[in-house]
């Protein structure tokens, strides 16, 4: 689309005025001065501009697919492959309306001579889903800036941004390391790390006889090793309507960030041989007490089922008839010796009350809380103080809390979340032994 702007109307009026006064007074200097603005008006009248067909555009998006909340770099390069100069070229990339630009700008302008290029680089915050970029808009102006042509050109290269919960989660190997879990137990048994020796009993395996002890003391002894067991962890997604909030326009919701962290935790636990289940709070689901419920298991199929449940947690609507009943029902569904890893922004007291209910039943609880509260306003600072106070209340009842601050890499957050689980608590070990698991 080409249009002409009346930018030199004042120059034309000045030229006519000076010429009229010069003729009336017979002043040659004024007549000469009238020619100056007239030259600009004439240049603008005869100038023309178009967006050359030989303009080529390439877009690169990295990374894609991307996880929620990750800054994604977009690079747009415009080449002038024509044989003439574009004196004033403005470029605006077609960023999807649902994505927020968090760094740089998708706009730029310059003069492009033949063979020259213009590169725009900016970053957007990824949100779960697939987003199509519109063709970039090009606007060229002539030397007098009175003629403007606007056009859209399809960019080569990447045209869409894909954001998935499992975008950077490590794959699960087809065959694991055959170890029954990675958590160590104080109880002795079969393994590879020395634990203790005891008196030999008839029927003990020959490979566990301590022959050095026999050579030194003349009696048989059996070697015990540290026993590794599998844990049962239920990932609790707090998907209440209250938590479908964002830190700013175009940012992922707290539920998206929670399910993203849960995807990583799920993958890491399954790769280590643990049993993992999923429960979604705050929605009206088909399970007991209106829960979305996936019983714990350890398999590749379990990961696929859990990911589908995470997608449901982000997309489903509706509120349960009784949220308190859902919280109590989680205790009944939890297998003996199991633990809860809950993902919640802890934006209200209901989240704390849930943790208090579970801890009252002597259930081990870890709270991983994505921080989506901006602190650039007084109200935001107030909400942040209240959120941290709620996390402290969770700690007082014996839950471990991990505050996932914005900008902190998720692997570091999960490492902190599971650091205290290097050894199982005594009551959980007894529960697993009673259930016959872990061997």
Structure tokens at 355: 């943790």
| The pLDDT of residue 183 | 42
Bigger pLDDT: 175 vs 4? 4
Digit-coded pLDDT (tens) for 239-249: 999 999 988 88
Is 317 part of any domain?
yes
Is 144 part of any domain?
yes
Residues 255 and 213 in one domain: no
**3-state SS string for 7-29:** CCHHHHHHHHHHHHHHHHHCCHH
- pTM tops 0.85: no
Which CATH number goes with the domain that contains 321? 3.40.50.410
User: Domain total for the chain?
Assistant: 4
Is the pLDDT at 54 greater than 80, yes or no?
yes
Beta-carbon contacts of 160 under 8 Å, excluding residues fewer than 6 positions away, are 61, 64, 130, 131, 132, 133
Residues 205 and 223 in one domain: yes
Residues 393 and 405 in one domain: yes
Q: What is the mean pLDDT of the chain?
A: 81
Is 182 part of any domain?
no
| The pLDDT of residue 375 | 82
Is the pLDDT at 326 greater than 90, yes or no?
yes
- Mean pLDDT calculated for residue range 270-297: 92
Bigger pLDDT: 215 vs 390? 390
| The pLDDT of residue 407 | 77
Give the model's confidence band at 260: pLDDT under 50 very low, under 70 low, under 90 confident, else very high.
very high
Is 364 part of any domain?
yes
In degrees and rounded to multiples of 5, residue 14 shows phi and psi of: -65, -40
Is 150 part of any domain?
yes
Give the model's confidence band at 93: pLDDT under 50 very low, under 70 low, under 90 confident, else very high.
very high
Residues 257 and 372 in one domain: yes
User: Terminal CA-to-CA distance of the chain, rounded, Å?
Assistant: 73
Is 175 part of any domain?
no
Digit-coded pLDDT (tens) for 407-422: 788 877 877 776 644 4
Residues 223 and 245 in one domain: no
Residues 302 and 424 in one domain: yes
Residues 223 and 240 in one domain: no
Is 178 part of any domain?
no
Q: Comparing 190-204, 262-276, 399-413, which segment has the lowest mean pLDDT? A: 190-204
Residues 262 and 391 in one domain: yes
Residues 245 and 270 in one domain: yes
| The pLDDT of residue 347 | 94
| The pLDDT of residue 40 | 60
Digit-coded pLDDT (tens) for 126-184: 999 999 999 999 998 866 555 778 889 999 999 999 999 888 766 654 333 333 344 44
Structure tokens at 130: 């697939």
Question: In degrees to the nearest 10, what's the CA dihedral of 183, 187, 191, 194?
Answer: 110
**3-state SS string for the chain:** CEEECCCCHHHHHHHHHHHHHHHHHCCHHHHHHHHHHHHHHHHHHHCCCCCCCCEEEEEEEECCCECCCCEEEEEEEEEECCCCCEEEEEEEEECCCCCCEEEECCEEEEEECCCCEEEEEEEEECCCEEEECEEEEEEEECCCCCEEEEEECCCEECCEEEECCCCCCCCCCCCCCCCCCCEEEEEEEEEEEEEEEEECCCCCCHHHECHHHHHHHCCCEEEEEEEEECCEEEEEEECCHHHCCECCCCCCEHHHHHHHHHHHHHHHHHHCCCEEEEEEECCCCCCHHHCEEEEEECCHHHHHHHHHHHHHHHHCCCCCCCHHHHHHHHHHHCCCCCEEEEECCCCCHHHHHHHHHHHHCCCCEEEEEECCCCCCCHHHHHHHHHHHHHHHHHHHCCCEEEEECCCCCHHHHHHHHHHHHHECCHHHHHHHHHHCCCC
* Structural domain for 221, as ranges: 195-228
Is 177 part of any domain?
no
Residues 34 and 116 in one domain: no
Specify burial of residue 211 (Cβ count, 10 A radius: 0-12, 13-18, 19+): exposed
Give the whole-angstrom CA distance, residue 149 versus residue 29: 38
Bigger pLDDT: 179 vs 219? 219
Give the whole-angstrom CA distance, residue 207 versus residue 434: 27
Which CATH number goes with the domain that contains 90? 2.60.40.10
Locus of tokens 């009673």: 434
Residues 398 and 251 in one domain: yes
Residues 248 and 391 in one domain: yes
């Amino acid at each position: 689309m080409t249009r002409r702007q009346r930018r030199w109307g004042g120059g034309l009026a000045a030229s006519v005025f000076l010429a009229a006064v010069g003729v009336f007074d017979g002043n040659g200097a004024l007549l000469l001065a009238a020619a100056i603005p007239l030259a600009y008006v004439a240049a603008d009248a005869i100038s023309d501009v178009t967006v050359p067909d030989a303009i080529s555009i390439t877009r690169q998006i990295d990374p894609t697919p991307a996880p929620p909340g990750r800054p994604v770099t977009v690079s747009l390069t415009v080449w002038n492959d024509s044989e003439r100069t574009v004196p004033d070229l403005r470029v605006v990339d077609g960023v999807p309306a649902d994505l927020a630009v968090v760094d740089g700008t998708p706009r730029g302008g310059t003069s492009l001579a033949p063979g020259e290029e213009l590169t725009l680089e900016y970053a957007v915050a990824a949100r779960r889903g697939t987003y199509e970029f519109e063709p970039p808009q090009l606007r060229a102006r002539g030397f007098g800036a009175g003629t403007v042509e606007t056009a859209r050109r399809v960019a080569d290269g990447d045209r869409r941004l894909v954001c998935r919960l499992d975008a950077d989660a490590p794959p699960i190997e087809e065959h694991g390391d055959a170890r029954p879990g990675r958590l160590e137990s104080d109880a002795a048994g079969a393994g590879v790390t020395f634990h203790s020796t005891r008196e030999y009993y008839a029927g003990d395996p020959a490979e566990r006889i301590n022959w050095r002890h026999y050579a030194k003391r003349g009696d048989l002894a059996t070697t015990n090793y540290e026993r590794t067991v599998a844990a049962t962890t239920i990932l609790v997604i707090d998907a209440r309507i209250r938590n479908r909030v964002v830190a700013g326009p175009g940012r992922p919701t707290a539920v998206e960030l929670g399910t993203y962290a849960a995807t990583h935790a799920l993958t890491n636990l399954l790769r280590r041989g643990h049993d993992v289940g999923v429960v979604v709070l705050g929605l009206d689901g088909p399970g007991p007490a209106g829960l979305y419920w996936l019983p714990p298991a350890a398999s590749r199929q379990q990961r696929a089922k859990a990911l589908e449940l995470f997608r449901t947690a982000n997309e489903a609507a509706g509120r349960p008839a009784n949220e308190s009943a859902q919280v109590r029902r989680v205790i009944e569904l939890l297998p003996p010796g199991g633990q809860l890893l809950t993902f919640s922004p802890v934006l209200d007291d209901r989240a704390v009350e849930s943790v208090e209910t579970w801890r009252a039943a002597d259930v081990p609880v870890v709270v991983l809380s994505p921080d989506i509260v901006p602190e650039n306003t007084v109200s935001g600072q107030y909400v942040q103080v209240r959120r941290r106070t709620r996390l402290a209340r969770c700690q007082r009842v014996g839950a471990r809390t991990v505050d996932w601050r914005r900008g902190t890499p998720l692997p570091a957050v999960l490492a902190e979340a599971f650091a205290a689980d290097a050894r199982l608590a005594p009551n959980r070990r007894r529960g697993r032994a009673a259930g016959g698991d872990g061997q």
